[in-house]
Amino acid sequence: MLYSLGHFGFTLLGFTLATWMVKHYMPTLEKTTWLIPASYVTLVTIVPRITDAINDPLIANWSDRTVSRWGRRYPFMLVSIVPLILTFNLIWSNPSQNVGSEENALWWFLMQVLFFIFCTCYVVPYLSLMPEISKPGEERLKISTYQGLSRLLGMLACPLLIKTFEPQYGLVGAIKIISIVAMVFLFAPFAKMLTGKQDFKKEEKPELIKSISTALKNKPFLIFLSTHFIYLISVMVGLTAITYVPANMNIPLEEEIGFSAVLQSTAIIIAIISTNFFWLNKKIKNKINLKKAFIYSLLIFGVPMAAITIATSKILALLFMFISGLGLSGLFIVPYAFLADIVEAENIKTRENKECMFYGIQGLILKSCYGLGPFIVLYLQKIFPENGLKMIGLFIMIFSLMAITIFLNYPDAEIKKTLKENS
């Protein structure tokens, strides 16, 4: 349980960054209100993820090769927390309040690069602890469920904290409170290490190129990775677009942030309730086919999330978010169980432990989607200035269907057979 709480911390930071950072620098979809030049959009949304693509495998391999009295993962997680929180706050401390400021754009870019370096140092080793502390099957699904629940609670905390503190302290003030809350939860996974003696075995040190090659040759992992990338793009595009949906309803500008937070909260609260009903209910959970559940979750999330972009009333928007929340639950729980099984099956076949590389690549996809979501929202609005939100809805629907098509090829039965034979 304490291990899962770490997910709350970095999800709170990542979700806040993905859904509200653009709103901070670009208050509306009108370029005349942007605090950076329109020509710098690619620099601040895409380039930091390119640098992240270099960092992830390097840090993943470094963690896999590390030998210490605290194991391979905890040292990286511990030293990254303070600089992670610091750079998160600095992102929002733009040096100028002028519209179209190049200084703001460069500041935003640099702080993001630093943030993602420290984020990688925490998230990749953290995720790699999963196969080390759990057994395949029910135990792993249970931990995965708690992770998914922590992730949903981290997402919910973002709009709730903004809704609560933004009226009094402004958006930046609310962000500072969010960072303090996140930091507390980032320390939670260390409780077990401090209260009991850990058995950290010395492992073979895998080579960087060999680890990357092994991961990218794993067919189930490639299917998982492709699906993960495509559906996360649709999720982040949808959740980012929500901050602009109130503009369709003629809501006063000063009330848009509050109603956007309500919309986000609605979907996440329903996802949390669904998690407790389905994934924490042992009788129901044992009857669920995970592969089918994941595919249904994609549909239940994608259709209403696409539809909300054309909603013109508050009631209709809230209804769409209610339905999408049912699908969001499965999307944030099931994938972690799949990935842990893939890593375990690979370790059985090769007799080597390269799990951090798998999680490093998956972490890269996750953080890339956090950046691509806002970029796609802004890019579609730039191409279709009159129908930007409608095109965003179409994008979400197409990508959800693409994810389903790819995941139909996932060899779930084959992997489960491998794990069962070696249990």
Give per-residue pLDDT as tens, 84-113: 999 999 999 999 989 889 999 999 999 989
Query: Does this model's pTM top 0.85?
Result: no
For the record, the structure tokens of 374 come out as: 């806002």
Confidence tier at 152 by pLDDT (50, 70, 90): confident
What pLDDT digit, counting tens, does each position of 60-90 carry? Answer: 777 767 677 777 788 888 899 999 999 999 9
Confidence tier at 193 by pLDDT (50, 70, 90): low
Q: Which of 29, 9, 16, 132 is nearest to 71 (CA)?
A: 132
b (16+ CB within 10 A) / e for 321-350: bebbbbbbbbbbbbbbbbbbbbbbbbbeee
Q: How far apart are CA 139 and CA 110, in angstroms?
A: 41
Side chain identity at 397, as an amino acid letter?
M
Which DSSP letter does residue 29 get? S
Exposure of 351 by Cβ count < 10 A (0-12 exposed, 13-18 middle, 19+ buried)? exposed
pLDDT above 50 (res 202): no
pLDDT of residue 421: 80
pLDDT of residue 200: 46
Q: Where is mean pLDDT largest: 171-185, 229-243, 364-378?
A: 171-185
Q: What mean pLDDT do residues 157-164 have?
A: 90
Enumerate the H helices of 26-65 as residue ranges: 41-45, 47-65
pLDDT of residue 346: 79
The larger pLDDT score, comparing residue 379 to residue 314, is at 314
Element (H, E) at 370: helix 355-383
Confidence tier at 115 by pLDDT (50, 70, 90): very high
Element (H, E) at 411: none
Which DSSP letter does residue 245 get? G
Check: CB of residue 27 under 8 Å from CB of residue 20: no
What is the dihedral sign for C-alpha 76, 81, 83, 89? positive
Q: What mean pLDDT do residues 122-129 have?
A: 81
Q: What mean pLDDT do residues 256-268 have?
A: 86
Count CB neighbours of 135 within 10 A.
13
Report the C-alpha dihedral over residues 232, 236, 237, 240, rounded to 10 degrees: 180
Q: Which of 303, 310, 309 is nearest to 324 (CA)?
A: 303
pLDDT of residue 248: 76
**How is domain 2-191+207-418 classified at the architecture level of CATH?**
Up-down Bundle (1.20)
Ordered by start, the domain boundaries in the chain are: 2-191+207-418
Percent pLDDT > 90 in the chain is: 24
pLDDT above 50 (res 302): yes
The larger pLDDT score, comparing residue 246 to residue 50, is at 246
What is the dihedral sign for C-alpha 92, 101, 26, 105? negative
The larger pLDDT score, comparing residue 372 to residue 297, is at 297
pLDDT of residue 236: 84
